[in-house]
Amino acid sequence: MRLLVLIAAILVANACPLMAKEPSAVQQLLDSARMPADLFQGYAHPFDLEVDFTAQFKVPAQGHVSLMWNSKDQWWSKVDVAGFNQITIRNGEMEYTSRNFPYTPPEVSQLFYLLQIEKRHSEFIPQKSKNRIEDGVSMTCIQAEREDAKSEVHAICLEAASHELLSNEWPEPPDLKKREQFADYFDFEGGRYPRSLEFLVNSNRTLSANETSVSPAPFEPALLVPPKGAIERRMCPGMKHPEGIERFRSIYKGAGTPEGEITVSFSVLTDGSVDDIQIIRSGGKTVDQMTVAAVKRFKYKPAMCGDEPVVSDMQVTYRTRP
């Protein structure tokens, strides 16, 4: 799972009207914000969700998600895309993952965050707002920083009349611009939710999803039985994620490597050491070898559930520089 995950805010239908130059009014809107897929917070009964999606690997790949939802602490999901399949089960604080690859592709993790199956809440502090018209749509865009990462500034745009979330955009150093987009809202059991969701990096669409079906359905307790050999992870409320003690250094300097990116996944154990290193996106044989050698030396403060250290998984992208 990603170490730094950025979550968009969506406003409830009864949020207060925005006064363009009144900070308290903007703050009221942000304080009343909910997750883009508020379906997972605002609906109190079991349901089934079916999602078709397209992920940009080397070529676009069509995939599907089936989700059986009972509560935020009890759910089952299955993902199939490009030969990859994964079953994830949440039962209380325990999460079980069974997959046919040694790692979960970043695109699948991003899909879960976009849908809000996996939630990482973040409060936003408004700085300023601006009304504008884009493609004939009147909208209000709020510039806000994350409370837990004040250097991370988001532009959250809402449809002016309905207050439905349209987009959430933020820069990510050194030169990335990430954007989530939401559209085609539908009514379900008293709420309104986006059917169409997209994720873009530097204006390039890397993920698009369409919720094809959502319907009330009983939740079968048998779904909570983990498959044999499933990976077990504790996911407690308020869990603190790993913190690096020894930062990634410029290990590529003088290696004669072209500038580029390499993505790796690894587990941080309870003693802060690193295990199960996997190359997700290669930077070439030499860079891969140098990166694995460096990551093996990393030391972290482990993830914590209260006072108890727990094993956690990370996916990190590093930029190589000659």
pLDDT class of 173 with cuts at 50, 70, 90: confident
Identify whether the C-beta of residue 227 lies closer than 8 Å to the C-beta of residue 96. Answer: yes
62 and 198 belong to one structural domain: yes
295 has a pLDDT exceeding 60: yes
246 has a pLDDT exceeding 80: no
313 has a pLDDT exceeding 80: yes
57 and 85 belong to one structural domain: yes
71 and 103 belong to one structural domain: yes
Distance CA 64, CA 212 (A): 10
Identify whether the C-beta of residue 270 lies closer than 8 Å to the C-beta of residue 309. Answer: yes
What CATH code is carried by the domain that includes residue 289? 3.30.2420.10
17 has a pLDDT exceeding 60: no
At residue 207, what is the residue type? Answer: L
Q: What is the DSSP letter of 45?
A: S
What CATH code is carried by the domain that includes residue 103? 2.50.20
Integer CA distances (angstroms), 77 to 48, 71, 158, in order: 10, 13, 30
Question: Considering its fold, how many domains does the chain have in total?
Answer: 2
Q: Which of 167, 196, 223 is where one domain is finished?
A: 223
1 has a pLDDT exceeding 60: no
Which residue, 45, 91, 47, is CA-closest to 66?
47
Integer CA distances (angstroms), 28 to 15, 66, 133, 163, in order: 8, 35, 23, 13
11 has a pLDDT exceeding 90: no
99 has a pLDDT exceeding 60: yes
Q: Which domain holds residue 301?
A: 236-320
Which tops the pLDDT comparison, 320 or 205? 205
Which residue, 142, 207, 145, is CA-closest to 180?
207
210 and 295 belong to one structural domain: no
92 and 164 belong to one structural domain: yes
Q: What is the pLDDT of residues 251-289, one digit of tens each?
A: 666 555 556 788 999 999 999 999 999 999 998 888 888
Q: What is the pLDDT of residues 54-89, one digit of tens each?
A: 999 989 999 999 999 999 899 999 999 999 999 999
How is 63-121 classified by DSSP, letter by letter? EEEEEEEEETTEEEEEEEETTEEEEEEEETTEEEEEESSSS--HHHHHHHHHHTSS---
Query: pTM value?
Result: 0.83
209 and 261 belong to one structural domain: no
* Residue 2 within any structural domain of the chain: no
* Residue 193 within any structural domain of the chain: yes
Sign of CA dihedral 278, 283, 286, 292: negative
For the ranges 179-193, 268-282, 297-311, the lowest mean pLDDT is seen at 179-193
Kindly state the average pLDDT of the residues 184-196: 88
Distance CA 124, CA 27 (A): 9
How is 183-238 classified by DSSP, letter by letter? EEEEEETTEEEEEEEEEEETTEEEEEEEEEEEEE-PPPGGGGSPPTT-EEEE--TT
SS3 146: strand
243 and 218 belong to one structural domain: no
207 and 249 belong to one structural domain: no
186 and 313 belong to one structural domain: no
Of 122-126, 171-175, 185-189, 305-309, highest mean pLDDT: 305-309
87 and 124 belong to one structural domain: yes
Q: Which helix (H) or strand (E) holds 286?
A: helix 285-296
